[in-house]
Structure 1
Amino acid sequence: MKELAASIAHNETGTFAGVPILLKNFTQEIKNEPMTSGSKGFLNYKAEEDSHIVSKIKETGVTVLGQTNVPELALMGITEPAHYGPTRNPWNTNHTPGGSSGGSAAAVAAGMVPIAGGNDGGGSIRIPASFCGLFGFKPSRGRTPVGRKLGRQMQGASVDHVLTRSVRDSALMLDLLKGHEKGAAFHAPPFESTYFECMQKGFNKPLRIAYSTKSPINTEVHPENKEAVVKTVKLLESMGHHLEEKDAPVDGKKIANSFITLYFGEVAATLATMGEFLGRKVKYNDVEPTTWLLGLLGKATTAEEWVLSIREWDKAAYSMEDFHETYDFYVTPTTAFPPSKIGELDPTPSEKLMISIFGQLRLAGFIKKMGLIDQLVENSLKRTPFTQLGNLTGQPAMSVPLHQTTDGLPIGVQFMAANGREDQLFQMAGILEQSELWIDIKTNPMFNY
C-alpha cells in the first residue's frame, strides 16, 4: 500500500490538484507499477521509476488512478489486444474507440475521468479523439519529455500529451508539460507565452487555409469523413478566411512506406528488448501473430532501406515548412472512415493462416521479395492515411470534434500547422469550440460524469 500511495502522490497545489487522470499503458511508466504495453510478453514487467512525462504530469497536481488499455505494443489504430480484450466506444459499444490511445479516449468519452494520457506516433491521440468526440492534440516533436530510457520515441515520430473534452484542459496541460529536456534528441522551437492565453484569442486577420479530402495513398475516403471537412470549410469561409483545396506537397505513398518501415524496425527492436526482459529469445507464442510478423519484417529490413526511409521524413518536413509559409493551416479528415465495429478489422481465416505460416517459418524475406509490402501498407493505413504526415515531419496537429455520422458516431477534422506553432492551433481550436459544429460530449446518452 505504501508503494501504491507513493506512485499516485501528487502536488496538492498544482493547476490540476485533485483532478483524476488515467495514463496510457505504453511508455508512461509509473514507478513500481506494471507496464505491459498490451502484451503478455511484458506481463511481469514493473517500472523502476517514473518516466519523465509521468513526473511532469504528477507535478500538475493530478491524481493518477491507473492505466488504460492499448493494442499490443500500441501498434494499431484500434484497441483490441488479444490478451486483454477490446475497449469499446462509449458512443456505441459495438464500435472501436480507435487506437492506440483507445483506452484513454474511451475513459474520457465515458466520463470516467476528464483527462487521460496518450502518445501519438502515427495518429494515436488524434484517431481515438476523432472516434470518441474528443479534442486530441499532438504537439511538435520535442515539445514534451520522452525520457528516461529514451532520447527519442519512435525515432522522433512519437510525442506524449493528453486527450480531453475541452480545449482549455489540453492547453493548460501542455503549458505545464512543455520545456527543454536535457538529453533528449529533439527540442521544439521555444515558446514563451502560454497556450491557455492563445486559445482565448481570435485572429486579427483572415487566414489562408489549404484543405483536402483525398487520401494521400489514393484509397477510398468515406462520404461522412469528406462531409466533416466540407462543413468545416464552409464555417471557416463564413468567418472570412481564405480556403483553397490543395493537397500537401509530399508523396503520400513514400510517406506511408517510410512510416511502415519505421514500424518494422521499432517492433523488431521492442521484441529484442522483450527478450532481454524475459532472459531468453522471444517465441512466436509470446506475442500476437501480426506483431511477430512485423518483427520479422523489421529484421529483414536493411540499414540502407532504413536510412532512405528517414530521408523521406526530412524531405517531407522541408516541403511542409515551405507549404506553411503560404498556408496557416492544412485541413483534412482525421481518418478516412468512421469507427469500425469491434472485430471488423480482424484478419480473415485465410489471412490468419498466411500470417501463421509466414511467421512460424520466418518467411519475412519472402514477403518482401514477392512485393507484398505495398499491399501491407495499403491494408494497414487505408482507414487512417492522414495522420502519419505530422509524425514524420514533426509538425503539430489536432483532431477537433466537428461532425457526427447519421447513426451518431463522432468524426474529427484534422488541422496541421508549421513546426512550433501549437499557439495557432490552440487559437483555432478555441474559436471552433464555440461554433455550432463542435460536438458536446454530454449529448451522448452514455456519458456519465
Structure 2
Amino acid sequence: MEGFDYKSYDGLGLAELVKKKEIQPKELLAEAISIIEEHNPKLNAVINKFYEKAEREAETLDLNGTFASVPMLLKDISQEIQGEKITSGSKVFQSYRAERDSEYVKQVRKTGALFVGQTNIPEFALMGITEPAFYGPTRNPWNLNHTPGGSSGGAAAAVASGMVPIAGANDGGGSIRIPGAFCGLFGLKPTRGRTPVGPNYARLWQGAAIDHILSRTVRDSAAMLDEISIFEKYAAFHAMPYQGSFLQQLQNSSDEKYTIAFSFQSPLGTEVHHECKEAVLKTVNLLESMGHNVVEIQAPVDGQKIAKSFLTMYFGEVSSWITTIEEMIGRKVKMNDVEPTTWILNLVGKATSAKEFALSLREWDKAAISMEIFHETYDFYLTPTTAFPPPKIGELEPSQSEKAAMQVTGKLGMGGLLKRIGIVEQVAENNLKRTPFTQLANLTGQPAMTVPFHLSSDGLPVGVQFMAARGREDLLFSLAGQLEQSEYWVPIQRNPFFKEKEIVMA
C-alpha cells in the first residue's frame, strides 16, 4: 500500500484496511515487526517474539474478525499461549512453557488479532514500575529516563511507541491505569468478572485482578471488551451481562449529561503533585463547559483501611504464589530464585494470619457497598490516576538500609520480624503514595478508566481516572467518547517515537 503509515492507524483502522484488501495481513505484520525491531532496543518493551508463528497464522487467517490481522502483544503473565514461554518476569520460570492457551488468549484470538510477542513486566506483576532483574527495565517512550509504569509497563511502552495499536494488559491494583497514565494512553479496568480468568484459575488476587488491553483510542478498548466479555462458568465472579455493545455506546455518546464527583485529595492523606491536581481541575472545567454537573467530594471510604486491606491481600497472594510455583516447577523455591523484595513479601505473607486476611476481605465488601450507594447519586468519581508524574528509572528502589535489613531477615526467614518493625509495609506504602487512587476499584470490583488529559511541564503524560458503578462500563465509554474529542486529550503523536500525524480511524 503506497504511502502507508502503520503507526497512524488504530487497531480497528488497520483491520478495516485488511478487510477492504487495501493491505495484506503479511504486509501489516512485516510493518509491526520492523517497528518493534527498530524501537525495542531503546525501550526494552518486548521480551519474547512470536514472529514465525504469526507469519504462519497470517496465511490462514479469517479476515472477518473485529481485529483481523492486527498485530498485538500479550503480557508475560496469565496470557499464556500453549507451548510458548511464560516467565512472569522471573528467572525461576525461564524454562517454563505454557501447557495450554489461557481463556483470554482464546477469546482474543477469535477477533483475528495476530500475537507477535510478549511484553516486559515487573517480577510476578507486583510493582507499579517495570524494572525486573531478569529482563531489565522498560523505558517510557516520552522520556527514556522515566518508567512507563507497571505492571503492564511493557505493553504501555509498546503501544505508546507505535509498535502495536493494542496490547494485552491486566490490572490488580492499577496495572492497566498506571502505565496508561504514564504513557499517555487510554486504559480501562473492567468490572470484576467481565473478562475471562481461566482455565487455570477461577479468580486472580481474590477478584482484584482482571485482564483487558491498553490502546491509543477509546474505540479499540470498547470493541475488544465487546469481544472478550463472556460468561465463564467456572469463574468465581460474574459481571452482570451488558445487553448492548460498548462500541455502539461509545459512538452514541455525544448528548449524555452526567453528575460527577471529584477529588484530588490522596486517600492516604499524602502529597499529590501539583501537575496531577492541575489535570483534574482542567478536566473539571471542561466537564462543566460540556454541561455536566460536577461536585467536589471524596469517596465515602477509609483510604487507610483500603490501603491496609490491599497490602494484606498482596502479601498473602505473593506467599501463595511461591507455593504455586513450587507445584509448577516440581521443587522448592529458594531465596535466590526470585528478587529480594519478592522473597521478603513472601515471608511477610507467611506471617499474615487467616484472621487478618479474612478481615481485609471484609473491608473490600464494606467499600463496595459504600461505593454502590455513592453511585446512586454520582455517575462517576473523578480523581488523578496517579499522585505523581512518571518517576525516573530506579527512583523507587528500596534504600540501602532497607535492602540490608531485607537481606538479613530474608536469609533468616524472619518475615514476622519484618512485619513487626514495618520495613516491608513502609516500602510498599512508599510506592502506594505514588499511586493511591487506583486500588479502590480493584477491591470493590468497579470499572475504572484512565484518560490522557495533561502533559507536565517536563513533557510527561499525566492521567485522570474515572470510576463508575459495577457493570457500568457503558457509562465510562460514553463519557470517554466525549472527552476524546476535546482539545485536552493528549495526542500520542507528541511523543518522540511518533511522527506528527493524526491517528486514522478508518
Alignment of structure 1 residues 68-217 onto 2, 5 Å: 68-202=119-253, 204=255, 206-217=257-268
Determine the C-alpha separation between the residues in 1 that align with 2:62 and 2:204: 27
* Aligned match of 1:254: 305
Q: Secondary structure at the match of 1:395?
A: coil
* Aligned match of 1:409: 460
Determine the C-alpha separation between the residues in 1 that align with 2:52 and 2:352: 42
Q: 1:397 to 1:422 in 2, by over 3 A?
A: same
1:445 aligns with 2:496: yes
* Aligned match of 1:323: 374
- 373-382 or 284-293, which moves further after superposition? 373-382
- 83-92 or 349-358, which moves further after superposition? 349-358
Gaps of 5+ in 1: none
* Aligned match of 2:32: none
For 1:286, the aligned partner's letter is: D
1:302 aligns with 2:353: yes
Deviations 1:174-212 (A, max 9, x none): 000112111111110111100111112236553211000
Q: Secondary structure at the match of 2:376?
A: helix
For 1:171, the aligned partner's letter is: A
Asked whether the equivalents of residues 273 and 387 of structure 2 are also in contact (C-alpha less than 8 Å), the reply is yes
Q: Secondary structure at the match of 1:16?
A: coil
1:224 aligns with 2:275: yes
Deviations 1:150-186 (A, max 9, x none): 0011110011000000001001000001121111111
Gaps of 5+ in 2: 1-49, 502-506
Determine the C-alpha separation between the residues in 1 that align with 2:56 and 2:295: 50
Q: 1:205 to 1:173 in 2, by over 3 A?
A: closer
Determine the C-alpha separation between the residues in 1 that align with 2:155 and 2:428: 26
1:375 aligns with 2:426: yes
Asked whether the equivalents of residues 11 and 59 of structure 1 are also in contact (C-alpha less than 8 Å), the reply is no
Q: 1:185 to 1:3 in 2, by over 3 A?
A: farther
CA offset at residue 339 of structure 1?
0.3
For 1:72, the aligned partner's letter is: E
* Aligned match of 2:327: 276
Q: Secondary structure at the match of 2:251?
A: coil
Determine the C-alpha separation between the residues in 2 that align with 1:44 and 1:268: 22
CA offset at residue 371 of structure 1?
4.6
Determine the C-alpha separation between the residues in 1 that align with 2:85 and 2:206: 24
Q: 1:55 to 1:201 in 2, by over 3 A?
A: same
Determine the C-alpha separation between the residues in 2 that align with 1:220 and 1:288: 29
Q: 1:2 to 1:65 in 2, by over 3 A?
A: closer
Q: Secondary structure at the match of 1:325?
A: coil
Deviations 1:76-114 (A, max 9, x none): 000000010000000000100000000000000000000
* Aligned match of 1:14: 65
Question: Of 13, 19, 33, which residue of structure 1 is paired with 2:84?
Answer: 33
Asked whether the equivalents of residues 254 and 482 of structure 2 are also in contact (C-alpha less than 8 Å), the reply is no
Asked whether the equivalents of residues 402 and 423 of structure 2 are also in contact (C-alpha less than 8 Å), the reply is no
Q: Secondary structure at the match of 2:74?
A: strand
Q: Secondary structure at the match of 1:163?
A: strand
Determine the C-alpha separation between the residues in 2 that align with 1:115 and 1:248: 32
CA offset at residue 279 of structure 1?
2.1
Q: Secondary structure at the match of 2:463?
A: strand
1:433 aligns with 2:484: yes
Q: Secondary structure at the match of 2:241?
A: coil
Q: Secondary structure at the match of 2:375?
A: helix
For 2:409, the aligned partner's letter is: F
Q: Secondary structure at the match of 1:412?
A: strand
- 195-204 or 171-180, which moves further after superposition? 195-204
Q: Moved runs in structure 1, 4+ residues, more than 6 A?
A: none
For 2:120, the aligned partner's letter is: N
CA offset at residue 300 of structure 1?
0.7
Determine the C-alpha separation between the residues in 2 that align with 1:193 and 1:163: 22
Determine the C-alpha separation between the residues in 2 that align with 1:119 and 1:22: 13
* Aligned match of 2:37: none
Q: Secondary structure at the match of 1:199?
A: helix
Determine the C-alpha separation between the residues in 2 that align with 1:444 and 1:5: 28
TM-score with structure 2 setting the length: 0.86
* Aligned match of 1:62: 113
Q: Secondary structure at the match of 2:206?
A: helix
For 2:483, the aligned partner's letter is: L
For 1:238, the aligned partner's letter is: S
Deviations 1:369-413 (A, max 9, x none): 335565344213010000000000000000000000011100110
Q: 1:260 to 1:2 in 2, by over 3 A?
A: closer
Q: 1:3 to 1:271 in 2, by over 3 A?
A: farther
Determine the C-alpha separation between the residues in 2 that align with 1:47 and 1:399: 31
Determine the C-alpha separation between the residues in 1 that align with 2:177 and 2:66: 24
Q: 1:205 to 1:185 in 2, by over 3 A?
A: same
- 263-272 or 97-106, which moves further after superposition? 263-272
Query: What is the aligned-residue identity percentage?
Result: 63
Q: 1:244 to 1:432 in 2, by over 3 A?
A: same
Determine the C-alpha separation between the residues in 2 that align with 1:406 and 1:191: 41
